[in-house]
Amino acid sequence: MNIAVIGLGIIGGSFCKAIKKYTDNFVIGINRTQATAEKALEAGAIDKIGTPESLGECDIIILALYPQAAVDFIEKYGSYIKSGAIVTDSSGIKRAICPSLSALSKKYGFVFIGSHPMAGKETNGFDVSEADLYKNASYIITPCGAPEDKIEILANLARKIGFGTVKITTPEEHDRMIAFTSQLPHVLACSYVMSPCCPNHKGFSAGSYRDVSRVANINSQLWSELFLENREPLITELDILIDNITKIKDAIKAEDRETLAELLEQGHKVKTALGE
């Protein structure tokens, strides 16, 4: 197949490298910055630097762009996409963009399937992309009414390039779960390192500091968009977190060791029961 990847940052660049490493598909790279596209070509991550006109050659188009940028790109260039081609995104939110992209698919005749690769790093850009970024990661698909055969084409590609799990769900369930598993930890990490103690952590920190603070190395422009577009599920999770923290704080303040131990044991039991 001919596969176009739009946006050659860490996510798009890793898609390109993985497709080239693990499949025989022809990869076309399109990027706003020409120098990055040239770097990808020189590295062998893509076979060709594309233009909007190149979209007509493609069987699959992967939008590795910010959520609204993905919609804007298809609004501008959707007429170039051939009928029946698969267009998928890689966004961390779905309800905010799936309706728009589904409507555009009907307008231009392509098949839209929402998707989200659950992988990344604390750093960004093509230079830190890698062919094995998706090794054993989860690939979430939100079909949005797409035919089963098209969904299976996308799922098979995901498995071939290393994803260990392909999860099929709705945009609503995706956003609700991502608020808890991804967005809430980023809020927690940023809040944690805002403590005045943080600059003096060296010599006092070990694994706990590293684990909690890791994702505070955040792309603020991207994540602020993700947070705001998914604000209702995220606020719900924040309210639960704040309530639980408040209970622990109140028990410490009251020197209520029995209640404090019970609260901590609740967390311990949940984590132990999950076995992970």
pLDDT tens, 193-240? 999 999 999 999 999 999 999 999 999 999 999 999 999 999 999 999
Is residue 138 over pLDDT 90? yes
* Average pLDDT value for residue range 121-128: 88
Name the residue among 66, 87, 30 with its Cα closest to residue 13. 30
* Average pLDDT value for residue range 241-268: 98
CA atoms of 240 and 246, how far apart (whole Å): 10
Confidence grade of residue 124 (pLDDT, cut at 50, 70, 90): confident
CA atoms of 144 and 147, how far apart (whole Å): 9
Name the residue among 99, 86, 125 with its Cα closest to residue 7. 125
Is residue 275 over pLDDT 90? no
pLDDT value, residue 123: 81
Confidence grade of residue 246 (pLDDT, cut at 50, 70, 90): very high
All domains of the chain in start order, with CATH: 2-169 (3.40.50.720), 174-274 (1.10.3660.10)
CA atoms of 10 and 5, how far apart (whole Å): 12
* Average pLDDT value for residue range 106-133: 94
CA atoms of 97 and 124, how far apart (whole Å): 23
Q: What is the pTM (predicted TM-score) of this model? A: 0.90
Is residue 122 over pLDDT 80? no
pLDDT value, residue 276: 76
In the numeric block, the tokens 């493609």 are attached to 58
Q: Is the dihedral of CA 97, 60, 144, 155 positive or negative?
A: negative
Q: What is the share, in percent, of the chain residues with pLDDT greater than 90?
A: 96
pLDDT value, residue 120: 86
CA atoms of 171 and 265, how far apart (whole Å): 34
pLDDT value, residue 56: 97
Q: What is the share, in percent, of the chain residues with pLDDT greater than 70?
A: 100
* Average pLDDT value for residue range 102-116: 98
* Average pLDDT value for residue range 155-177: 97
Q: Are 17 and 29 in contact (CB under 8 A)?
A: no
Other Cβ atoms within 10 Å of 131 Cβ, number: 19
* Average pLDDT value for residue range 125-149: 97
Q: Are 7 and 64 in contact (CB under 8 A)?
A: yes
* Average pLDDT value for residue range 136-143: 97
pLDDT value, residue 52: 94
CA atoms of 9 and 125, how far apart (whole Å): 4
Interior/surface letters 173-199, b for 16+ CB within 10 angstroms, e for the rest = ebbbebbeebbbebbbbbeebeeeeee
pLDDT value, residue 167: 97
CA atoms of 257 and 248, how far apart (whole Å): 10
- Choice among 57-61, 149-153, 166-170, 218-222 with the minimum mean pLDDT: 218-222
Other Cβ atoms within 10 Å of 241 Cβ, number: 15
Q: Are 62 and 90 in contact (CB under 8 A)?
A: yes
Other Cβ atoms within 10 Å of 214 Cβ, number: 12
